[in-house]
């Protein structure tokens, strides 16, 4: 569904929809999820308009929604947040969507409780979130992110989302690329729920002929406001991607017990992967972010874009900035390794780790553009926001994707100029990330500076 005015956000249903139904479902359900475009605290009017085959009455009413939070204060860096979230509202019985995820979240809470009782405290704060009103367009999570944006910008380490933990067979994961390595490492430590003697990593890799991690340009679960609006590194985890009972009365405990996860071992696997991710992010002295992987992924995106654009000169110029990011990422990795060897309790070492961690934490924010995407200002992430056109061949660089899809009636020259303008924005964002990783201001006089080669 589309929003025609700038500044508003799309409001799709949650992620658990089988992927092949995406377009037809959204076309059918679009009027059901329209919000009045209101943001901030207080009342929000949600319109459930009349929709063929979905509703026969027009309902407009105020409802109170309740997000629920559990906070474990960090012992050393209480002002750094590792955030885990799952929604709690369901269309019907919701055994899959969202209660499979809620069961996992509650099991993590139980396990963390045991650890706390044994005397453990996380280094950084862990925030556990149960979102309300996700099915109406991620209202609970979005309102919270918008209200706490300044704090989240400066203090959030990562957001780890699980919506439908289990809706079938096979492990699936999405993340921002700096978290890939941690995600893969963690799946090596968790037993596969379906094949005795194997780890999740083994079957995940065999299923796809290699590890496959999705990029989170979708807008159908609560990671959307965290990543697309706030630029917080994010993860999304689930088992199975084809659930025939999606948003119907078949989404029941009986289906889960008979078909979805008879031994509830897939639930357990998600719980363990989710929990281990959180523990590493909350406790590792140096944040386990790998920006070299990010640079590699950006290079792949740029190669794909270059092929699509027949080797446009503007696109090719992005390579230099990606190389610069890769170089900065390598320096940061080396620095991190050195700092890991220093005494854990030495004050000076602590401060040096904190300075490095701040650069790692803030680098993702460099990919945000303050005014947002053209005509869709709420989406601020220049690498991973949804493209305006669902038919777009690009699931990354949304501003460039929009410029391509809007260029149908333009002359060749105008088309190239509008795309070039968006390429310039992405390039500057990559340049900003490299500067943030190095802890430097941007180098405007550098002869390789993109702005000197391409006029925006």
Contacting residues toward Zn ion, per CB under 5 A? 14, 16, 97-98, 163
Other beta carbons within 10 angstroms of residue 145's beta carbon come to: 23
Q: Which is nearer to Zn ion, 99 or 427 (CB)?
A: 99
* Least spacing, CB of residue 135 vs Zn ion, in Å: 7
Compute the distance between CA of residue 433 and CA of residue 367 in angstroms, rounded to an integer: 7
* Least spacing, CB of residue 86 vs Zn ion, in Å: 8
β-pair partners for 239: 166, 171
* Least spacing, CB of residue 98 vs Zn ion, in Å: 4
Compute the distance between CA of residue 84 and CA of residue 156 in angstroms, rounded to an integer: 11
Q: Which of 26, 134, 335, 416 is catalytic?
A: 134
Sign of CA dihedral 150, 155, 160, 163: negative
Q: Which is nearer to Zn ion, 98 or 387 (CB)?
A: 98
* Least spacing, CB of residue 163 vs Zn ion, in Å: 4
293 close to 178: Cβ distance less than 8 angstroms:
yes
Compute the distance between CA of residue 282 and CA of residue 288 in angstroms, rounded to an integer: 10
Parallel/antiparallel/unpaired status of strands 68-72 and 124-131: antiparallel
* Least spacing, CB of residue 97 vs Zn ion, in Å: 4
* Least spacing, CB of residue 90 vs Zn ion, in Å: 7
Q: Which is nearer to Zn ion, 98 or 140 (CB)?
A: 98
Compute the distance between CA of residue 351 and CA of residue 212 in angstroms, rounded to an integer: 36
Compute the distance between CA of residue 232 and CA of residue 255 in angstroms, rounded to an integer: 35
Q: Which is nearer to Zn ion, 98 or 372 (CB)?
A: 98
Comparing every residue's Cβ against Zn ion, the nearest one is: 14
Residue 88 has which token pair? 């709690």
Q: For the chain, what is the radius of gyration of the CA atoms?
A: 22
- 134 an active-site residue? yes
Residue 23 vs residues 32, 181, 385, 392: alpha-carbon distances, Å: 15, 32, 18, 13
Residue 362 has which token pair? 């803030």
Side-chain-facing half-sphere of 397: CA atoms under 13 Å: 32
Q: Which is nearer to Zn ion, 46 or 298 (CB)?
A: 46
Residue 137 has which token pair? 């367009």
Q: Which is nearer to Zn ion, 16 or 305 (CB)?
A: 16
Other beta carbons within 10 angstroms of residue 69's beta carbon come to: 12
- Residues taking part in catalysis: 134
């Amino acid at each position: 569904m589309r929003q025609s005015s700038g500044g508003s956000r799309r409001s799709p249903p949650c992620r658990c929809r089988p992927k092949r139904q995406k377009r037809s479902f959204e076309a059918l359900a679009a009027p059901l999820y329209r919000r009045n475009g209101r943001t901030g605290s207080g009342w929000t009017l949600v319109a459930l308009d009349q929709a063929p085959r979905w509703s026969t009455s027009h309902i407009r009413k105020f409802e109170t929604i309740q997000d629920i939070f559990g906070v474990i204060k960090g012992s050393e860096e209480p002002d750094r947040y590792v955030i885990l979230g799952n929604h709690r509202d369901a269309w019907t019985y919701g055994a899959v969507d969202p209660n499979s995820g809620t069961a996992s979240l509650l099991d993590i809470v139980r396990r963390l409780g045991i650890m706390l009782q044994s005397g453990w405290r996380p280094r950084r704060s862990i925030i556990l979130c149960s979102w309300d009103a996700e099915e109406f367009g991620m209202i609970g999570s979005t309102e919270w992110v918008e209200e706490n944006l300044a704090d989240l910008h400066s203090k959030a380490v990562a957001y780890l989302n699980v919506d439908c933990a289990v809706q079938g067979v096979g492990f699936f994961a999405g993340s921002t690329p700096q978290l890939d390595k941690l995600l893969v490492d963690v799946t090596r430590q968790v037993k596969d729920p379906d094949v005795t003697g194997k780890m999740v990593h083994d079957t995940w890799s065999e299923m796809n002929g290699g590890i496959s991690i999705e990029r989170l340009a979708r807008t159908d679960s609560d990671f959307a406001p965290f990543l697309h609006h706030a630029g917080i590194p994010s993860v999304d985890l689930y088992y199975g991607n084809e659930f025939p009972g999606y948003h119907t009365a078949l989404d029941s405990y009986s289906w889960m017990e008979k078909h979805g996860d008879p031994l509830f071992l897939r639930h357990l696997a998600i719980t363990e992967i989710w929990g281990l991710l959180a523990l590493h992010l909350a406790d590792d002295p140096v944040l386990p972010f790998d920006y070299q992987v990010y640079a590699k992924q950006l290079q792949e995106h740029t190669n794909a874009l270059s092929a699509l654009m027949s080797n446009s000169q503007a696109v090719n110029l992005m390579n230099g900035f990606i190389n610069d990011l890769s170089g900065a990422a390598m320096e940061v990795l080396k620095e991190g390794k050195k700092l890991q060897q220093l005494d854990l309790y030495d004050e000076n070492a602590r401060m040096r780790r904190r300075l490095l961690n701040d650069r790692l934490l803030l680098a993702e924010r460099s990919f945000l553009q303050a005014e947002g995407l053209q005509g869709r200002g709420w989406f601020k992430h220049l690498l991973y926001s949804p493209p305006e056109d669902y038919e777009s061949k690009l699931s990354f660089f949304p501003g460039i994707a929009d410029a391509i899809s809007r260029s149908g009636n333009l002359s060749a020259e105008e088309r190239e100029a509008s795309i070039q303008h968006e390429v310039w924005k992405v390039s500057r964002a990559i340049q900003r990330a490299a500067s943030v990783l190095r802890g430097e201001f941007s180098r405007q006089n550098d002869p390789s500076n993109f702005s000197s080669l391409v006029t925006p």
